Amino acid sequence: MRRVLLLPGDGIGPEVVGAAREVLEAASSAFDLELAFEEGEIGAAAIRSSGEPLPEETARLARESDAVLLGAVGHPDFDGAEVRPEAGLLALRRELGVFANLRPVLALPSLLSSSPLKPELVEGVDLLIVRELTGGIYFGEKEEGTERASDLCLYSREEVERVARVAFEAARLRKGRVTSVDKANVLATSRMWRRVVAEVAKEYPDVELDNLLVDAAAMFLVREPSRFDVILTENMFGDILSDEAAVLPGSMGMLPSASLGEEGSPGLFEPVHGSAPDIAGIGRANPYATILSAAMMLRYSLGSPEAAGAIEGAVRSAMEEGVLTADLGGQATTQEAKEAVIRHLKQAVAR
Ligand code: NAD
Ligand code: IPM
Ligand code: MN
C-alpha cells in the first residue's frame, strides 16, 4: 500500500485536487496500484482552524507518506497579515527537503492556438525548468522593519551541486542540453553558481552546458523558446521564469511540477499555478496541471510509470477532443475536463 497525502489548500486548490484524486482512483483500479489517500490542512484553511499555516499534524502526515499532492495556498484575506498561508508551503518544502523542483513545459499541438505567441514560435517547445527550491533568497535571514528591510540570498556549494546533478541527469534522458541561468554580472551567489555548475558539468561530458543571464533568458523564453532543453536555475529566478513559461502552452493551468529530495524521501507534487482567488469556487479552474502533477507523482515517487503515461495520454486525448477550460479559450468546466480524462484513461486501458 502506498500512502498519498492530499493537501487541497486554498482557492481553486480543493477543486483541482478533488479532480486529480478521482483520476488517481481510476488509474489505481486500472493498474492495481493500491493507493491509500489521507488529507491534511495547509495554508489559509489551516491558519483558520489551528493558527498555523503548516500544522505539525500535516508535517507529520507528509513525512510519513510516500508522496504529497498539493493544490495551492494563498488567500487575499491574508494579504498583509503577519502569518501568511504561503509560509506553510515554504515550510513544507523545507521539511521534506525537496531541493529540486522539476517544471516541464510542453506545447501540445492541440494548444498551439491557446498561446498568445505565434504558433510557429511555440511549435515543438519541450523544455524542463529545474528550479532550486529550498535555498537562496527565499530562505535566507530576513530583517523586516518600517524603515529598513533585507532578505539574504545565500547558497552553499553543496546546494548548487546537488540540484545541478538533477538537471544534468534529466538532460541525459532528454536532448542533452543544460542552460544554467543566473545573474553572474551582478550577484556573488550567481558567480559561485556558475563555477560550481561548470565543475559538475565535467562529470557529464555527454551533456552540453551553456550559461545565460536571467534577463536575457526571460527574453529568449518568449522569442525563441524551442532553443531550450533543460533550464537550471536558482529559487527566485525559477519561480519567475516558470510563470513566464506558462504562456507557451497557453495557461498557468497547464504546468505541473515535481519537487524531489534525497532518494527515498517523499516527493511533493503540485501545479505551478496558485490559488486563483478570481475564479475559485465556480467550477471553472483548469485541473490539467494538477492531474499532470499526479502523473508525475506516479512516475517519480510511486514507481508506476505506466499509469503515469496513461494519465498523460488521457489528458492529451481530452485536449485533442477539444475539452478545454476557459483559460485555454474553451468552455469546459473542471468537472467536464476531469470526466474526459477518466473516460480516455479507461478507453486506453481497455484497448
Ligand atoms: P495564480 O497562479 O493563482 O493566478 C494567476 C492567473 O492565472 C489568475 O488569473 C488565475 O485565474 C489564472 N489561473 C491560475 N491557475 C489556473 C487554473 N488552474 N485554471 C484557470 N486559470 C488559472 O497567481 P496569483 O493570482 O498571483 O496568486 C494567487 C495566490 O496564490 C497568492 O496568494 C499567491 O501567493 C498564491 N500562489 C500559490 C502558489 C502555490 O501554492 N504553489 C503558487 C503561486 C501563487
Ligand atoms: C510557486 C509559488 C510559491 C513560490 C509561493 C506561493 C511561495 O509562487 O510555487 O511557484 O514562490 O515558490
Ligand atoms: Mn510561482
pLDDT tens for each residue of 280-292: 999 999 999 999 9
List the residue whose alpha carbon is closest to atom 37 of ligand 1.
Answer: 274
Helical H segments across the chain, by residue range: 13-31, 44-50, 56-64, 86-96, 119-122, 157-172, 188-201, 214-223, 235-245, 288-300, 305-320, 334-350
Ligand 2 nearest atom to the CA of residue 270, by list position: 9
Cβ–Cβ < 8 Å for 205, 160: no
Choosing from 77, 142, 210, 243, the catalytic residue is: 243
The CATH code belonging to domain 1-106+249-351 is 3.40.718.10
Q: Given its phi and psi angles, is residue 34 left (phi above 0), alpha (psi -120 to 50 degrees) or beta?
A: left
What number does the ligand 2 atom closest to the CA of 235 have? 12
Q: Which ligand is nearest to the CA of 279?
A: 1
Of the bound ligands, which one is closest to the alpha carbon of residue 10?
1
Q: Is the pLDDT of residue 351 over 90?
A: no
| Cα distance from N-terminal residue to C-terminal residue, the chain | 27
Domain span(s) for CATH 3.40.718.10 in the chain? 1-106+249-351
What pLDDT is attached to residue 114? Answer: 87
Q: Is 118 a catalytic residue?
A: no
Determine the Cα angle at 152 with ends 151 and 157, to 5°: 150
Q: Does residue 113 register a pLDDT over 90?
A: no
219, 223, 227, 232: CA torsion to nearest 10:
30
What is the pLDDT, as a whole number, of residue 58? 98
pTM of this prediction?
0.98
> Is pLDDT of 260 > 90?
yes
Does residue 97 contact residue 32 with C-beta atoms inside 8 Å? no
H helices, E strands: number in the chain: 12, 12
Measured CA to CA in angstroms, residue 7 lies from 4, 10, 245, 269, 290 at distances of 10, 9, 25, 10, 12
pLDDT digits (tens, 9 = 90+) for 50-93: 999 999 999 999 999 999 999 999 999 999 899 999 999 999 99
Closest residue by CA, ligand 2 atom 10: 239
Where in the chain is CATH 3.40.50.2300? Answer: 126-247
What number is the average pLDDT over the span 85-104? 98
* Span from the CA of 273 to the centroid of ligand 3 (angstroms): 7
User: Measured from the CB, is residue 272 less than 6 Å from ligand 2?
Assistant: yes
Clarify whether 183 is annotated catalytic: yes
| Residue 199 burial (CB count, 10 A) | 12
Q: Which residues contact 131 (CB under 8 A, 6 or more apart)?
A: 100, 101, 103, 233, 234, 235, 237, 238, 239, 242
CA distance 30 to 349: 7
Q: Which of 10, 12, 75, 86 for mutating ligand 2's site (highest number of atoms within 8 Å of CB)?
A: 86
The rounded mean pLDDT for the chain is: 97
Confidence (pLDDT) at 21 = 98
For the CA of 12, the nearest atom of ligand 1: 18
Could you confirm whether domain 126-247 is CATH 3.40.50.300? Answer: no
Determine if ligand 2 sits within 6 Å of the CB of residue 239.
yes
The pLDDT value recorded for residue 175 is 98
CB-CB contact of 68 with 96 (8 Å): yes
